[in-house]
A and B are shown apart, each in its own frame.
Chain A
């Protein structure tokens, strides 16, 4: 079955398939289509969809709702993401399951509201204080918008942390023919709940890499969630052993599970000297460029990164091993290239890493990438 749809519709359907029942957002181009659709759909399932008075209120409402057990999502663009920053930190510290869609537009600041870019890639990773790890997924088409939104909810539930879906103006607002009958339904994961009987300690974990059991505000156990550094009972603490434990837990619960986040598509019909690595809207140009290059007799592999953060290091190492040239096209000054260079440094032979970059609001063309495939 073919439909004509944009990424906003695919993300909305993915969120609903994942069990999303709360959405709050503030109008911002080009993320508004997601707000409109979620507010249109959620009442039908008895969920809540609301426009907050600003971005800070919107993410705050999502956080409050999430801790009553709701599956919450919000969507914004660069300026709004800037306003989300502090609450993203709360999401990490308070262990709040939350899905945040970032529809990238050209920055900095107000920048170009209707202009495509991929300039938030490192901002997603380092956009809140403390430097703790985050999860960010990145679809390249409507089918992936649908599937990865479900995965984002599953990760948010499983690891009780904010999960980003990194998209862009074109991915969200360009309409395209989509074969929706092949849309993938991912089994739904819900956060692990504490048994109704027995003592409940809100932030207790057996091992640092575990995620604590959840009990909702308004549920059987009295719960205490907090934005402040805390011990396992959610009480403020400065005691170094407690602080160390909480900090390392927040780090380990993501880092120790890196293998679970390695979502990539490696297309290597044969070992090729050139590997192109890209993500999101630019990966579409990469795939077309590789097709044209192969038709012209060149050898090239492509790696589409669907999980930007944590960096899928193992998959990247495997893909880059033996290559002499790595091309990284992206709509920024080379933000993800930094990560690729880090991985290339440890390889022998060390491949040359080349960026193909645009910051003029235009998409990178397949031709621009093909030029770099020797």
Chain B
């Protein structure tokens, strides 16, 4: 059995640095008493401090310590707990940290991450000169609310409680049973918070003729209950995460996906292809298949996609380069092949159309053929005889181009459109591929 630990206070720093009468000393003493009561292994315990006077507290304890940025203590604590779920993680922050880090507080509670938060709530910013905080009472006089605070104070406990915190307590630094409450919080597996009201003797007390009596009266006047306000038994997040991923252990990590050459391409020079279509028209997946088919045929390929910030509306333009050698520059100013298959796509390629010359080819659907002026050869698909559903248009026209421009064997594209696809999608793709035969025969040069 290990010898009993009689204090967790640091022997080199016996005296706190806080102002006379400051509540921080009281709360830290209560925390020490709770740790003594629990006899936690200091090596399994970490105090994470926020900024402000409270941020000096970790230096006065002999446990692991991390002192981080203002408002972000909960994020470091979450990272520590996620990486080492067995640790007891205690966060010390002020009402200032609650304000600036409110988002983290909400999410730590909602996630129910197993950390214990002690809010040293002295109703104003004690370190920077007594400015108002999110918990300054209505009417409170501070350096930044000289005429009295107009804002409503934040109900910290209700906020974390309604978002799923496992343990919530409101009290004051003067509470006699605080060590026991803090100990209960630390023993709670999930997210636990104690909102501990205190006196800031440097600022809030003199500015508002405040004392312990007014502190309690303020709490009462706001209708804020004291004591343990919530105990729930939701799953603790770090442990829940570990449990959730157990069955994934040992699966192949980022496995290679080799693309083997099975066909031959007669393509002599690098060929730059642009597919200009509409979002939702399978332009990107078609471009992937086009590139993959090239790789099956021994070519190098690149694919760049361009689309607006929305994904399911507007244009979708994909650029594919096929080459016998590795491709460095991936842009296309002057396509060898430009497929225009929707008005949205057409609107994106005027520059390329202007750049193209007679050695290059524009493939276009009949409805857009008259809108295109170019020096390039124009090939219009005949879609009347072989109606192709809109969703299959990109693939059908691309397949027709693979044949017409003799990029590589159609078999390679057939294999590419089925690779990794579920049976019904593969069938759909194959139908589009077959349609390409008809629209190709009817090609008008």
Contacts and interface: CB of A to CB of B under 8 A. Distances in A.
A307 interface: no
Interface of A: 1-5, 9, 12-13, 16, 22, 24, 29, 37, 41, 43-46, 48, 50, 52-54, 56-70, 72, 86-87, 90, 94, 113-114, 170, 173-177, 180, 217-220, 222-228, 234-236, 284-285, 287-288, 362-363, 365-366
Contacts of A220: 43
Contacts of B261: 2
B331 A365 contact: yes
Contact of B103 (A29, A54, A223): A54
Contacts of A57: 72, 74-75, 78, 103-104, 107
Contact of A64 (B42, B66, B253, B331): B66
A71 to B, nearest CB: 10
Nearest to A284: B328
B262 to A, nearest CB: 12
A44 B253 contact: yes
Interface string B36-80: 000000111010100000011011001111111100101111111
Given A22-B79, A236-B59, A285-B329, A2 B64 contact: no
Provide the main secondary structure of the chain A interface.
mixed
A223 B75 contact: no
Contacts of A87: 69, 72
Contact of B66 (A37, A58, A217): A217
A43 B302 CA distance: 30
B76 A61 contact: yes
B288 to A, nearest CB: 7
B235 to A, nearest CB: 15
B295 interface: yes
Interface of B: 42-44, 46, 48, 55-56, 58-59, 62-69, 72, 74-84, 86-87, 103-104, 106-107, 241, 244-245, 248-254, 256-261, 288, 291-292, 295, 299-309, 326-331, 333
A2 B295 contact: yes
B259 A2 contact: yes
Nearest to A89: B69
A113 B306 CA distance: 11
Residue from the set B72, B292, B308 with the largest chain A CB neighbour count within 10 Å? B72
A225 B65 contact: yes
Contacts of B253: 16, 41, 44-45
Contacts of A362: 331
A6 B288 CA distance: 12
Residue among A70, A223, A227 having the largest count of chain B Cβ atoms under 10 Å: A227
Contacts of B241: 48, 50
Contact of B67 (A174, A176, A227, A288): A227
A358 to B, nearest CB: 11
Contacts of B307: 114
A174 B303 CA distance: 6
Nearest to A285: B329
A138 to B, nearest CB: 16
A95 B386 CA distance: 66
Contacts of B42: 222
28 contacts: A1-B256, A2-B258, A3-B258, A4-B301, A41-B253, A44-B251, A46-B245, A46-B249, A57-B72, A57-B103, A62-B79, A64-B48, A87-B69, A114-B306, A174-B304, A175-B288, A175-B303, A176-B327, A180-B258, A217-B46, A217-B64, A218-B46, A224-B67, A225-B67, A226-B66, A284-B329, A284-B330, A285-B329
A3 B259 CA distance: 5
A236 B258 CA distance: 54
A4 B259 contact: yes
